[in-house]
């Protein structure tokens, strides 16, 4: 089963700041949606170059993650894997 690509990252704010944001957007609002709107207004919408660079960064991050997982001896598959040379 392939894992879905994670495209969200986190940004930390102080607890008081988060409370103020949550109060501002109300019960039906989303803090992340509010922040996305503010950033789009301030930075503009991402262009094709931004999207390409993000895609390349995600691919590199995914390859690194898969390489680390492949070397994890605690992984069920890796723990039961026997190298071919040990069969002989």
Domain boundaries, the chain: 12-45, 46-83
Confidence of residue 86 (pLDDT cuts 50, 70, 90): low
Please tell me the distance from the alpha carbon of residue 4 to that of residue 9, in angstroms, as a whole number: 14
18 within 8 A of 31, measured Cβ to Cβ: yes
Give the gyration radius of the chain's Cα atoms. Answer: 21
Confidence of residue 58 (pLDDT cuts 50, 70, 90): confident
Q: Is the pLDDT of residue 32 over 60?
A: yes
For 81: left if phi > 0, alpha if psi spans -120 to 50, otherwise beta; the answer is: beta
Quickly list DSSP for 22-39: HHHH-TT--HHHHHHHHH
Confidence of residue 11 (pLDDT cuts 50, 70, 90): confident
Report yes or no on whether pTM surpasses 0.75: no
């Amino acid at each position: 089963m392939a894992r879905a690509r994670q495209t969200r990252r986190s940004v930390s704010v102080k607890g008081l700041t988060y409370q103020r944001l949550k109060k501002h957007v109300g019960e039906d609002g989303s803090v992340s949606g509010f922040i996305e709107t503010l950033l789009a207004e301030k930075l503009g919408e991402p262009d094709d170059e931004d999207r390409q660079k993000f895609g390349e960064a995600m691919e590199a991050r995914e390859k690194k993650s898969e390489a680390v997982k492949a070397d994890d001896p605690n992984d069920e598959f890796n723990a039961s894997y026997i190298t071919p040379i040990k069969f002989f």
